[in-house]
Amino acid sequence: MRGAWALGLTAAALAGCVAQGEIQNHVERINKSVGTSRNEAILLNIVRASRNEPLYFTSLPSITGQGNMSLSTGLPAITFGPGQTVAQKQYTFTNSLYNSAASTFDVGLLESKGFYDGLLRPINLPEANLILHQGFSRALVFSVLVDRVRITSGDTVEEIRNAPADPDEFRRFEEYLYLAVYYGLTVEVAAGPNGESEGRLCFDQALAGPEQKPFVRRSPIQCTHGPDGRTWAQRKPAELAFLIDGKPQSIEIILRSPNQIFQYLGSLVGPASAGRTVTLYGDGPGTSQGPLVVVTTDPRASCFARVTYDGVPYCVPDVGSDNTKRIFQILNQILALNTSPEDIPPTQSIFITQ
C-alpha cells in the first residue's frame, strides 16, 4: 500500500512539472513562431516585388495559448478467497496522465482603404524621426527611406534618384547622401499650429563630423535655430537651402512610401540585381559595412528568414546580413505605424491542437 501511495504522489509531482514546463515552452514557442511568420512575410513580399508581382499583407490581431493537464490514479482491485485465477492474483494500478497544448489565432487580410492609404502615402518626417531614434544609423535609414533628391539652382531643376539600376545616377545620389550624413543631417519635430507634430530636415552640430562642425554652426538650417534668425516654422519641411558661389540653391529630399520601399528592396534581389549591390558604410552604431540587402537562394544556408516561392528558396542568411535584419526591423515599425485597429477586418479563428 505504501508503494501505491508513493507511486501516486510521484506521478502527481511529475504531472505538475510536465504541465508547467509545457505551458512555459508553449508560450516561448508562440513568441518564436510569431517572429518567424512576420519575418517570412516581409521576405515574401520583397521576393514578390523582385518579380513585379502584387504585394499582400496579413495581420495576427490575437493569439491565445491554451494548456490542459489531467491526472487520475487509483488503488488496485484485490480479490479475497480461495480458488483465485492467475489474473485475480495480479495487482493492477490504474493511472493516467494527460497533457496537451493548443494555440488559437486570427488571421486577416489587410486591404482596407485606410491601410492602403498608409501603404501608398510617402512616409512623413515625424515617422522618419521616430525611426532615426531607434539606434539605426542615419545612413541606413536614409538609404531605405529616401527615393530621390530634387536640386533647384536658379531656373534649373534636377532630380537624382536613389536607383541602383542606374550606376551613374546612383553614384551621384550616394555622394549627396553621405555628404549630408557627414554634415549631421537629421529630422527635428515640434508642435505645429494645430498641435500636431511637424518635422523639418536640419543639420545637427552634435552629429556632424569634426571638419563639418564649423559650417553647421553658421548654417541657417541648423537644428533648433539658425544664425539668420528665422524661426523654426518658417522653414520648408523637406528642403535644405544653400548659398553656393553666391547663388542660391536648394535640395529637397523626397521620401518613399512603404510600398516603394518594398519595390526598392525587391530590385536588389534575384539574378536581375547583378551589379546593383548597395554597399553601406558604417557611420556609427546600428550599421555594418557591407551590402544593404543580402538574400541567397542556397538551399543549404542557415537562415534568419526563409521562404520558397515558385519552387525557388530565398534565404536571409544568419551570418553577414546584419543590415538586412535591421531593415526588417524598420519595415515592421513602418507597417505598424501605418496600420490602425480599423484596418484589421473581422476574421475567422483557426484552432491548432498539438
Q: Which of 238, 286, 45 is nearest to 127 (CA)?
A: 238
Q: Which of 60, 66, 25 is nearest to 41 (CA)?
A: 60
pLDDT of 93: 59
- Sequence ranges of the domains in the chain: 2-109, 122-256
- Under a CB-based contact definition with an 8 Å cutoff, are residues 252 and 180 in contact? no
Extract the C-alpha cell encoding 244: 553656393
pLDDT of 247: 72
Extract the C-alpha cell encoding 278: 548597395
pLDDT of 250: 83
- Three-state SS letters, the chain: CHHHHHHHHHHHHHHHHHHHHHHHHHHHHHHHHHHHHHHHHHHHHHHHHHCCCCCCCEECCCEEEEEEEEEECCCCCCCCCCCCCCCCCCCCCCCEEEEEEEEEEECEECCCHHHHHHHHCCCCHHHHHHHHCCCCCHHHHHHHHEEEEEEEECCEEEEEECCCCCHHHHHHHHHHHHHHHHCCEEEEEEECCCCCEEEEEEECCCCCCCCCHHHHHHCCCECCCCCCCCCHHHCCCCEEEEEECCEEEEEEEEECCHHHHHHHHHCCCCHHHCCCCCEECCCCCCCCCEECCCCECCCCCCEEEEEEECCEEEEEECCCCHHHHHHHHHHHHHHHHCCCHHHCCCCCEEEEEC
Amino acid at 284: G
User: In tens digits, what is the pLDDT along the chain, a chain of 354 residues?
Assistant: 455 445 454 544 544 444 445 567 777 877 888 888 899 999 999 999 999 999 999 876 666 656 566 666 666 666 656 666 656 656 665 666 666 656 666 667 778 888 899 999 999 999 999 999 898 888 899 999 999 999 888 888 999 999 888 888 988 898 888 888 888 999 988 777 777 788 889 889 898 888 888 888 887 788 875 444 445 555 567 777 766 666 777 888 999 999 999 999 998 886 655 555 666 655 656 666 778 889 999 889 999 999 999 999 999 999 989 889 999 999 999 998 888 766 666 555 555 555
Helices 258-266 and 322-337 pack at an angle, to 10 degrees, of: 160
Amino acid at 323: N
- Under a CB-based contact definition with an 8 Å cutoff, are residues 157 and 150 in contact? yes
pLDDT of 7: 47
How far lies 108's CA from each of 112, 143, 273, 332, in Å?
11, 31, 33, 17
Q: How far apart are CA 255 and CA 190, in angstroms?
A: 19
Q: How far apart are CA 318 and CA 303, in angstroms?
A: 5
Tell me whether strands 96-106 and 185-191 are parallel, antiparallel or unpaired: unpaired
Task: Please list, residue by residue across 323-336, b when 16 or more beta carbons sit within 10 angstroms of its beta carbon and e when fewer do.
Answer: bbbbbbbbbeebbe
pLDDT of 15: 46
pLDDT of 49: 94
Which residue, chain included where needed, has cell 555622394? Answer: 175
Number of other residues whose CB lies within 10 A of the CB of residue 322: 16
